[in-house]
Amino acid sequence: MSDFLKQFGEDLKKNVDGFIAVAVTEIKSGMSYYSQSTVAGFDPELASAYNLEVVKAKMNAIRALHLKDQVIDSIMITLTSQIHIIDVSDNGEYFIYLAVDSTKANLGLTKSILNKYKKEIVNKL
């Protein structure tokens, strides 16, 4: 598992322009399985803890609205100079939190890479 996550982090860092930070977190427990940041002082595990609350709030809203056939695929938060992506696994057990520099990131390529790993995370964790 750790080799897979280490490779995942290195691939993101190498292939995602504007990469800032990443974390992989279990939704039920809030446990972070992997994190990495290229910016001093940017704590992706702390960011994941806060973003876990965003995911849980959206899951509660889906239930409250009786949207039975709907699940979260991803949540994108656009800040002044960063984009934060919360990509939820297909089984709803994990999410990838990724922060990128909005002036450098190619969102299409970034989403494609995340989708590849999102499927693998379910099988590897």
Asked whether the predicted pLDDT for residue 4 surpasses 90, the reply is no
For 48-92, the DSSP string reads: HHHHHHHHHHHHHHHHHTT-TT----EEEEE-SSEEEEEEE-TTS
Q: Is the pLDDT of residue 102 over 60?
A: yes
Helix (H) / strand (E) containing 118 = helix 107-124
Share of the chain above pLDDT 70, in %: 98
Q: In this predicted model, what pLDDT tens digit does every residue of 40-56 receive, in sequence order?
A: 999 999 999 999 999 99
Total domains in the chain come to 1
CA distances from 86 to 3, 33, 66, 82 (A): 22, 15, 22, 13
The average pLDDT across 8-30 equals 94
Instruction: Find the mean pLDDT for residues 69-82.
Output: 95
Residue 124 DSSP class: H
Find the CATH number of the domain harbouring 29. Answer: 3.30.450.30
Query: What span, in angstroms and rounded, lies between the C-alpha atoms of 85 and 50?
Result: 13
Q: Which domain holds residue 29?
A: 2-124
Which bin fits 83, alpha (ψ -120 to 50), beta or left (φ > 0)? beta
pLDDT of residue 30: 95
How does residue 71 score in pLDDT terms, banded at 50, 70 and 90? very high
pLDDT reported for residue 55: 97
pLDDT value at residue 120: 82
